[in-house]
């Protein structure tokens, strides 16, 4: 039986497709995404993906792919297979580290080159429109002027490209979305670089060690999904219980507040009535008493009748 091709969504496949030995394949993909001068892709290097700690308690980040272009631009490529609530903040953190890792203490800021992050996402992240490629940069909200030499984050949504008009980037995203040998073969016909990438997938799909690593990765993803689902259910249950407790607490607080409010109102009313009684005993005109206390004229007349 013919084995199902492994997907680029597996770490072992993704990193082999864009390994240093396949630098032409990587360059073709970057050209499809980025708007850089052509010579930037002539000398690209795949470097250590670790974002080293700045101090002993600092956070250690590991990128899926880290690249330096000819002039020193730093490029990170991240693959997102399952939904992650923190993905936006994580991409900002990684992008900031691409900038700060370029200089050491005492270095001149002129050494800093452009920092570019590319997120290839299988889940749909931006539901507001059907665009499959978003390029986020800093800009002035009033004039829309782009901040000079700023960093940028590209978000590529694989699922949205299925019905899009054909282009180099669409062809690459269809390759990432492929599941069957026929779908891979169709994508491979569009670009020589994608044909090379399909060759890597075919080789790894027949490699026992690669399939074992992919299987472990799939198991880890399922375990994480189950863990998140369990955490969600537990959080939901705890939230409901806390909500009920807060509701009871709020109910008691509201009751006390309403009681205090009603008590204050009753106290003020009784004070007005007592002032009105004293004024009546001193034979003050009813209309003047009404003006003084805020009672209606009818209320003053009833008090006068009670006193007599």
DSSP 49-68: -EE--SSTTSPPEE-SEEEE
Q: What is the pLDDT of residue 157?
A: 96
Taking the C-alpha atoms of residue 234 and residue 217, their distance in angstroms, rounded to an integer, is 25
Q: Are residues 77 and 197 in the same domain?
A: yes
For residue 27, CA distances in Å to 37, 71, 119 come to: 12, 15, 16
Q: What is the pLDDT of residue 300?
A: 81
Q: Are residues 19 and 119 in the same domain?
A: yes
Q: Which of 98-102, 157-161, 193-197 shows the lowest mean pLDDT across its residues?
A: 98-102
Q: Are residues 53 and 200 in the same domain?
A: yes
Q: Are residues 32 and 99 in the same domain?
A: yes
The total number of structural domains that make up the chain: 2
Residue-wise pLDDT for 69-81, tens only, equals 999 999 999 999 9
Q: Are residues 194 and 238 in the same domain?
A: no
Query: What's the domain range around 30?
Result: 11-138+146-206
Looking at residue 54, what DSSP letter applies?
S
Q: Are residues 154 and 238 in the same domain?
A: no
Q: Are residues 192 and 242 in the same domain?
A: no
pLDDT at 154 over 80: yes
Taking the C-alpha atoms of residue 7 and residue 13, their distance in angstroms, rounded to an integer, is 7
- DSSP H helical segments within the chain, as ranges? 11-17, 23-33, 87-100, 168-177, 181-188, 192-205, 208-281, 286-293, 297-307
Q: Are residues 253 and 303 in the same domain?
A: yes
Only one residue has tokens 């978000």, namely 155
Looking at residue 146, what DSSP letter applies?
B
Q: Are residues 183 and 67 in the same domain?
A: yes
Taking the C-alpha atoms of residue 46 and residue 66, their distance in angstroms, rounded to an integer, is 6
């Amino acid at each position: 039986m013919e084995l199902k091709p492994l997907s680029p969504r597996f770490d072992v496949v993704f990193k082999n497709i864009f390994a240093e030995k396949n630098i032409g394949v990587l360059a073709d993909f970057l050209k499809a995404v980025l708007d850089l001068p052509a010579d930037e892709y002539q000398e690209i290097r795949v470097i250590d993906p670790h974002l080293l700690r700045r101090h002993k308690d600092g956070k250690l980040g590991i990128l899926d792919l880290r690249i330096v272009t000819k002039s020193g631009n730093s490029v990170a490529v991240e693959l997102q297979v399952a939904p992650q609530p923190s993905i936006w903040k994580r991409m900002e953190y990684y992008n900031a580290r691409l900038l700060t890792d370029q200089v050491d203490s005492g270095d001149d800021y002129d050494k800093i080159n452009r920092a570019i992050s590319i997120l290839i996402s299988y889940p749909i992240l931006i539901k507001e429109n059907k665009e499959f490629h978003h390029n986020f940069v800093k800009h002035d909200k009033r004039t829309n002027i782009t901040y000079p030499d700023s960093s940028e984050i590209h978000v590529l949504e694989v699922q949205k490209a299925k019905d899009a008009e054909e282009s180099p980037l669409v062809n690459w995203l269809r390759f990432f979305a492929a599941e069957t040998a026929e779908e891979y073969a169709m994508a491979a016909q569009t670009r020589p670089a994608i044909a090379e990438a399909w060759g890597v997938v075919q080789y790894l799909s027949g490699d026992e060690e690669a399939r074992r690593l992919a299987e472990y990765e799939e198991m880890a993803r399922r375990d994480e999904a189950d863990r998140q689902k369990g955490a969600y259910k537990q959080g939901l249950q705890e939230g409901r219980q806390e909500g009920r407790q807060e509701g009871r607490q709020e109910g008691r607080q509201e009751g006390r507040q309403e009681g205090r409010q009603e008590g204050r109102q009753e106290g003020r009313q009784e004070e007005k009535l007592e002032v009105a009684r004293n004024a009546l005993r001193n034979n003050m005109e009813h209309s003047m008493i009404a003006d003084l206390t805020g009672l209606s004229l009818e209320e003053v007349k009833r008090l006068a009748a009670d006193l007599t």
